[in-house]
Amino acid sequence: MAFTPPSRFNAAILVGLLLLGGCTALRTRVDPEKDVLARLARYADGIRRMDFNQVADLFAPAGEVVNPGGAPVRGRETIRRFLQSFAGYKVVENTVRAESTRIDGSSAHQGGTYTQAVVVPGGTTVHVRGRFAADWQREGAGPWLLVRMATTPGP
């Protein structure tokens, strides 16, 4: 069977569909708010599963975790070791809700709430909740990385 080139009309439709598909994919890729929200969801999932590597890898090399009453934990590898110190704990619930996400070029700031239920060594379940503030940074087309994650326990 010989190849029959498409009619101009069919070719125009194909080009239009390809352009439309490309624009949709491009729009999806460059929506920074959705990207940051997806990264926060990945963070929450990593905490819930106690996947210390997944959580630590979401931080910039010089990122920090700030909790009230303690010194900031700075640096991706230090954060990884800090998280590993909770290996005897089991997170049974972890909810993180961004109430605001503000994008400013290659920086983003989120604020919101969190709730957790954690079984501590010895079997007691502890329920905590509070607020969080997350600062994200992005280099070029790379992934958004946490520069700072701060939590404040609250009612």
Q: Could you report the average pLDDT of every consecutive run of 10 residues in the chain (155 residues)?
A: 46 37 45 96 97 98 94 97 96 97 97 98 96 96 96 90
Q: What is the pTM of this model?
A: 0.79
Q: Output the pLDDT for position 29.
A: 52
Q: Output the pLDDT for position 30.
A: 66
Q: Output the pLDDT for position 42.
A: 97
Q: Output the pLDDT for position 68.
A: 87
Nearest alpha-carbon partner for 138 in 49, 41, 29, 54: 29
Q: Output the pLDDT for position 3.
A: 42
* DSSP conformation class of 6: P
